[in-house]
């Protein structure tokens, strides 16, 4: 659970279903999303090793073989996307798009909410990769179109009145959401807590914290792999975090930092959503740069 507003999801801390405590720091939230991307990639490697296509087939195979370490379903809930997009827009957009595109078969699902449905928050890339959407009452047709690609949400009555646009539907369905009071939520949460203790995954917490520290470190300290990474992207004609990860076998945080350092040097262009970054120099220019630096 990711709650940049701090006060919305904190009540769920301590329930036994959580992998980690509710994340309230937007920078740590970007790290949590990057962990989710890496977990998704690792799950697909497990599927490939076992010759299965999705989590259902993987768990069925393990059960058939008498193995008990089944993969759990993971739901990632983000309460306010706007705050994350202000702090780390590139990383958040990239992670959300990768998860929305590929994570379902790996047993990982996204629930994302925002009170500000503007195009700088719900970008075209994010919207294209989230097929099922819900619109509550909004103030204008523009906001309605941002969410569900058509007018209508501006006419909703509020108090749980919503338009649900599921994947595959030709038009939204008008639905009434039930009101749940704070007292009811507290009673349900207390009951769930009484059924078992929370056992947070310390490895995930440590990875998220270390990524936050690496992001906050001095950007002037160039990575030792930077020269090799520059040669790699110039030869490839494009640059991406995943390319750096794959070739140098490093984590997401370090690969992203290397790409940021290349952008700061004018080697690669800015972030363009799901597209690889454009390489701005030629091989000849790189050779000239290397000759000047060696003089």
User: Could you report the per-residue pLDDT of 2-32, keeping only the tens digit for each?
Assistant: 998 888 898 999 999 999 999 988 878 888 8
Beta strands 74-78 and 108-112: pairing type?
A: parallel
Quick one: CA dihedral 204, 214, 263, 229, positive or negative? negative
Helix (H, G, I), strand (E, B) or coil at 153: helix
User: Could you report the per-residue pLDDT of 90-140, keeping only the tens digit for each?
Assistant: 778 888 888 988 898 999 999 999 988 888 888 887 888 888 999 999 999
Rounded distance, CA 102 to CA 143, Å? 27
| 241 has pLDDT over 90 | no
Rounded distance, CA 43 to CA 71, Å? 9
pLDDT given at position 295 = 60
| Contacts of 123 by beta carbon, 8 Å cutoff, 6+ apart | 93, 273
pLDDT given at position 113 = 92
Report whether 43 contacts 56 (CB < 8 A): no
Report whether 113 contacts 147 (CB < 8 A): no
| 218 has pLDDT over 60 | no
Report whether 240 contacts 277 (CB < 8 A): yes
| 205 has pLDDT over 90 | no
User: Could you report the per-residue pLDDT of 36-83, keeping only the tens digit for each?
Assistant: 998 999 999 999 999 999 999 999 999 999 988 899 999 999 998 888
Report whether 256 contacts 241 (CB < 8 A): yes
Angle between helices 55-64 and 26-50 (to 10 degrees): 50
Report whether 156 contacts 169 (CB < 8 A): no
Rounded average pLDDT over 219-226:
74
| 173 has pLDDT over 90 | yes
Band of pLDDT at residue 220, cut at 50, 70 and 90: low
Contacts for 198-203 with beta carbons within 8 Å, 24 or more apart?
A: 198/13, 198/14, 198/15, 198/16, 198/18, 199/16, 200/18, 200/19, 200/20, 200/21, 201/19, 201/20
Domains by residue range for the chain, with CATH:
10-194 (3.40.50.300), 219-289 (1.10.10.10)
pLDDT given at position 112 = 93
Report whether 43 contacts 52 (CB < 8 A): no
Using alpha carbons, list the distances in angstroms from residue 203 to 3, 78, 168, 207. Answer: 21, 21, 38, 6
Place of tokens 């270390």: 210
Strand partners, 275: 272
Nearest CA to 257 out of 265, 238, 287 is that of 265
Rounded average pLDDT over 209-228:
69
pLDDT given at position 213 = 60
Other CB atoms within 10 Å distance of the CB of residue 45: 9
Share of the chain above pLDDT 90, in %: 44
- How long is the chain? 295
| Residue bearing the bigger pLDDT, 216 or 149 | 149
């Amino acid at each position: 659970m990711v709650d940049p507003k701090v006060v919305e999801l904190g009540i769920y801390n301590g329930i036994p279903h959580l992998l980690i405590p509710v994340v309230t720091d937007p920078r740590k939230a970007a790290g949590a999303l990057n962990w989710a991307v890496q977990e998704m990639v690792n799950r697909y490697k497990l599927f490939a090793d076992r010759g299965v296509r999705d989590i259902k087939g993987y768990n069925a195979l393990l059960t058939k073989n008498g193995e008990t370490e089944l993969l759990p379903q993971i739901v990632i809930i983000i309460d306010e996307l706007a705050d994350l997009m202000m702090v780390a827009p590139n990383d958040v957009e990239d992670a959300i798009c990768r998860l929305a595109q590929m994570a379902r078969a790996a047993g990982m699902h996204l629930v994302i909410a925002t009170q500000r449905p503007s195009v700088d928050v719900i970008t075209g890339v994010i919207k294209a990769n989230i097929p099922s959407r819900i619109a509550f009452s909004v103030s204008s047709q523009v906001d309605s179109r941002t969410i569900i690609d058509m007018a209508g949400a501006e006419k909703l009555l509020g108090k749980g009145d919503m338009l649900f646009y599921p994947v595959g539907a030709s038009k939204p369905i008008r639905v009434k959401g039930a009101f749940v009071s704070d007292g009811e939520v507290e009673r349900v949460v207390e009951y769930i807590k009484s059924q078992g203790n929370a056992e947070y995954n310390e490895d995930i917490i440590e990875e998220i914290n270390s990524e936050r520290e690496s992001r906050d470190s001095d950007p002037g300290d160039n990575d030792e792999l930077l020269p090799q990474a520059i040669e790699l992207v110039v030869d490839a004609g494009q640059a991406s975090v995943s390319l750096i990860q794959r070739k140098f076998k490093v984590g997401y945080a370090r690969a992203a930092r290397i790409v940021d350092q290349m952008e700061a040097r004018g080697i690669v262009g800015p972030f363009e959503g799901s597209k690889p970054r454009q390489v701005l120099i030629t091989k000849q220019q790189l050779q000239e740069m290397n000759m000047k630096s060696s003089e």
